[in-house]
Amino acid sequence: MKLLFMRLYFILLLLSISLSISFTQTTPEVDSTRTWSPESYFPAEDRLVTTIMQRYHYKKIIIDDSLSVDIYNLYIKSLDNNKMIFLQSDIDEFSKQKYMMDDYIKDGKLETAYEIFNIFYKRLTDRIRYTNKLLEKGFDFKVDEYYSFRKDSVDWAKNTNELNELWRKRVKNDAISLLLTGKKWEDTKKILEKRYNNYQKIFYQFTSEDVFQNFINAFTSSIDPHTDYLSPIASENFNIDMSRSLEGIGARLITEEEYTKIAEIIVGGPAYKSKLLQRNDRIIGVAQGKTGKMVDVVGWRITEVVQLIRGKKGTLVRLQILPASESINVEPKEIELIRDKIQLDDISAKENVLDITNNKLNYKIGVLSIPAFYNDFEAARRGDPNYKSTTRDVKKLLAKLAKEKVDGVIIDLRNNGGGSLQEAISLTGLFIENGPVVQVKNSDGIVDVGQDTDSKIVYSGALAVLINRFSASASEIFAGAIQDYGRGLVIGETTYGKGTVQNMIDLNRLVQNTDTKLGQVKLTISKFYRITGGSTQNLGVTPDIQFPSAFDPKEIGESSEFAALTWDKIQPANFKPFNNLTPYLQKLNNEHLTRITKDFEFQNLIVSINEYKSNVKSTKISLNKSVREKEKKMADEERLKKENERRKISGLKIVKKGEVTKKEDKNIDAELDETAHILADFILMTIG
């Protein structure tokens, strides 16, 4: 995940109380000559943030010319990530300040940051004027030419003519994408005019606080990807995020270029339950109720998109999305979600039993799905004997599975982004006798060991832990401990690699005698280590049996983050392994590889992963409308063919082109099913 424009300000939980969803009041007309300047108190706030970074951050920070270059590059990238706004001459001029950013940060000198933003806004205004001229003139869609997607390695445009050509192809590509959905040219023209004008309005509506936050976050992001400055309004949104107590669809959004993109699906929310939204899906339209008009939101400021999606519990919102897993030519997909409030029960652990046949033997495999590591601390403080926590719930579910006489248990931690550290420790304690679970090292080098002190083992049978790229933090602590003790098999994808701990500092508590409301700083204060001494940071947990992954570590995960803390190692803790599983792993992996070659669903999963990778790597696309139509038709036919192949094998009804498939027809989990077979292989090898 790369540096995104105004990182945490744009990461908002779509949970809210009842809000009026009326956009009858339009935003003010854009003033193309507007400029921004810093508020009088920003220099002092800048110096305060800098002092906090130097004193309290886990990493010993040296603010010098080397860091200055990083601050400069990240600030430019936050404004013009795809090199579609600035000219090379602008960059040449800005570069004269490249080695001064460290001094500006230390001294609270913000004028250069605002000058760069003002030039950015002027250049953006020129771009929007040009797009309006293009749309007025129209395009020749029969020309054989290509639009190349901008990458980090490309150069800045040398002059206005070169930049105009880049934008001509970009706008033409957007026009073809809309025309392929069945829209007429006049409708396409109006949508794109509004879209690009809205893109300009995003920045026109920036406050001086927004510009300040963006520049300060270029500094914090040059130190660590999880360290951020949050303006007062961003702090309020962050608190809404953490409370998870309000109403919405349950998804976090980010802005990437002009698109609103799904950053995370919140466990227990409507989006999570529906399985209709996935990470990296792009939202291009929002409508209210069954019959409300679909509003094109490409180019909108994210706060406005959020406001459209928020609403009363029980009301329906329709979203038009571009699925991340599909090709560029995919037709937008419309989904319906009922807004709701996330309750603790929605994120609670749940159990079920898989009945499988493996090597002609029947097995009952219990599955414990744990979407988060939770603890109702408030209920516990009240003395409620039935308060909920991950460990308490899993303990009850294990007793239930024991009554059903399961042969083995799978702990499903896929997409579990973490939560309570203590719950990760106590949950591990259900499967081991006692001993260390995790080590935590602070900035002073002091190491605390998180121990399981209960010698009782609740479940001692065959165990597997299923993980994926989005298993993070507390999930990695649990999976790593199970692996280090040799207590169970770890299966799936390499995890995210988030092995750091953050703390919030409210700047208002550090400044007295002021009526000015300041923001907050979220900074990294410590680091997790496994009991074997290696950190979970950056590298994550590598499974014993590896499943194919759609995600390149260079693009998704801690290792993709700029300035992510590195992996390192400390002294191992003193612990006694439960078992040594190494002798079984090669044979288990061989059995797995042989089996999946004959498994239609798993092979289908592999094909989907390869298609996703291919789509992500795509660097150019035809701007000939006829060619695009043929490509889209072929993609649609191939998709329908694969769906019907799956349905035929599964004994489901064959569907025709344009026919909507039922939700219950798609609940096939190839990864979970294969994990159950691997565990059955292990049971046969060890128990017989």
The reply to whether 515 belongs to the active site is no
Q: Which residues contact 598 (CB under 8 A, 6 or more apart)?
A: none
Burial 50-88 (b: 16+ CB within 10 A, else e): bebbeeebbbebebeeebbbbbbbbbbbbbbbebbbbbe
Contact indicator for 202, 32 with CB cutoff of 8 Å? no
Question: Helices 390-403 and 421-428: crossing angle, nearest 10°?
Answer: 30
Which of these is catalytic: 473, 535, 559, 622?
A: 473
Helices (H), 138-184: 160-179
Extract the tokens encoding 682: 């292990």
Cα 104 to Cα 97: distance, rounded to the nearest angstrom: 10
Contact indicator for 244, 14 with CB cutoff of 8 Å? no
Count how many Cα atoms sit within 13 Å of the Cα of residue 292 in the half-sphere of its side chain: 21
The reply to whether 498 belongs to the active site is yes
Gyration radius of the chain over CA positions: 27
Extract the tokens encoding 569: 């190692």
Q: Which of 401, 393, 397, 325 lies closest to 366, judged by CA?
A: 401
Beta pairing partners, 247: 16, 341
The reply to whether 473 belongs to the active site is yes
Contact indicator for 434, 392 with CB cutoff of 8 Å? no
Contact indicator for 525, 57 with CB cutoff of 8 Å? yes
Task: Report DSSP letters for 444-463, one per residue.
Answer: TS-EEEEEE-----S--SEE
Q: Which of 305, 336, 301, 308 lies closest to 320, judged by CA?
A: 336
CA dihedral (342, 344, 345, 346) positive or negative: positive
Cα 437 to Cα 12: distance, rounded to the nearest angstrom: 33
Residue reference for tokens 């949104």: 237
Contact indicator for 155, 88 with CB cutoff of 8 Å? yes
Chain-centroid distance of CA 35 in Å reads 33
Which of these is catalytic: 172, 498, 522, 527?
A: 498
Judged by DSSP in three states, 179 sits in helix
Q: Which of 341, 351, 282 lies closest to 310, judged by CA?
A: 341
Cα 147 to Cα 140: distance, rounded to the nearest angstrom: 14
Q: Which residues contact 456 (CB under 8 A, 6 or more apart)?
A: 433
Q: 29 exposed, middle or buried (CB, 10 Å; 0-12, 13-18, 19+)?
A: exposed
In this structure, the chain runs to a length of: 688
3-state helix, strand, coil in the chain (%, to 5): 40, 20, 40
For the chain, the first-to-last Cα distance in angstroms comes to 45
Cα 577 to Cα 109: distance, rounded to the nearest angstrom: 56
Cα 553 to Cα 76: distance, rounded to the nearest angstrom: 24
Q: Which of 359, 392, 363 lies closest to 375, judged by CA?
A: 392
Which of these is catalytic: 412, 484, 544, 681?
A: 484
> Which residues participate in catalysis according to the annotation?
473, 484, 498
